[in-house]
Amino acid sequence: MKKLLATALLSAPLLALASPINLLSNGSFEATPQANGSWSRLSSMPGWTVGANQVELRNNVAGTASQGSNYVELDVDNNSLISQTLATVLGQWYELSFDFSNRAGVAVNSNGLGWSFGGVSGLAPVVGYNATADNQWNHFSILVKATGSSSTLSLWATGTSDSLGSSLDNVALATASGSSLTGTVPEPQSLALLLAGLGGLLFASRRRAR
CATH of the domain at 168: 2.60.120.260
CA distance 54 to 140: 24
Asked if the model's pLDDT at residue 133 lies above 90, the reply is: yes
**Does the structure show a pLDDT above 60 at 12?**
no
Structurally, the chain folds into a number of domains equal to 2
- 5, 35: one domain: no
Question: Cα Rg for the chain, rounded, in angstroms?
Answer: 22
**Per-chain mean pLDDT for the chain:** 84
80 and 125 fall within a common domain: yes
Is 27 found in the same domain as 14? no
Both 80 and 146 in one domain: the answer is yes
Residue 149 gets the label, from left (phi > 0), alpha (psi -120 to 50) or beta, of: alpha
Domain span at residue 205?
1-18+186-210
* Of residues 179, 175, 159, 177, the one with CA closest to residue 167: 159
87 with 108, same domain?
A: yes
pLDDT band at 16 (very low <50, low <70, confident <90, very high): very low
Same domain as 209, residue 105:
no
User: What are the DSSP E strand ranges found in the chain?
Assistant: 38-42, 49-50, 55-59, 70-73, 81-87, 93-101, 113-117, 120-123, 138-145, 150-157, 167-175
Same domain, 120 and 82: yes
Of 28 and 182, the structure prediction assigns the larger pLDDT to 28
Mean pLDDT of the 73-87 span: 97
Domain match, 156 and 58 both:
yes
Q: Do 142 and 193 reside in the same domain of the chain?
A: no
Higher pLDDT, 144 or 200: 144
Q: Mean pLDDT, to the nearest integer, of 123-148? A: 96
Report the pLDDT averaged over residues 144-162.
96
Q: Give, as one character, the DSSP assignment of residue 83.
A: E
Judge if 127 and 196 occupy the same domain.
no
Mean pLDDT of all residues in 168-180 = 82
Alpha-carbon torsion angle 125, 57, 169, 81, nearest 10: 50
pLDDT band at residue 83 under the 50/70/90 scheme: very high
Instruction: Point out the least confidently predicted range of 92-101, 132-141, 176-185.
Output: 176-185
pLDDT at 27 exceeding the cut of 80: yes
57 and 108 both lie in a single domain: yes
Q: Is the pLDDT of residue 147 over 70?
A: yes
Residues 79 and 113 in one domain: yes
Q: What is the pLDDT of residue 47?
A: 97
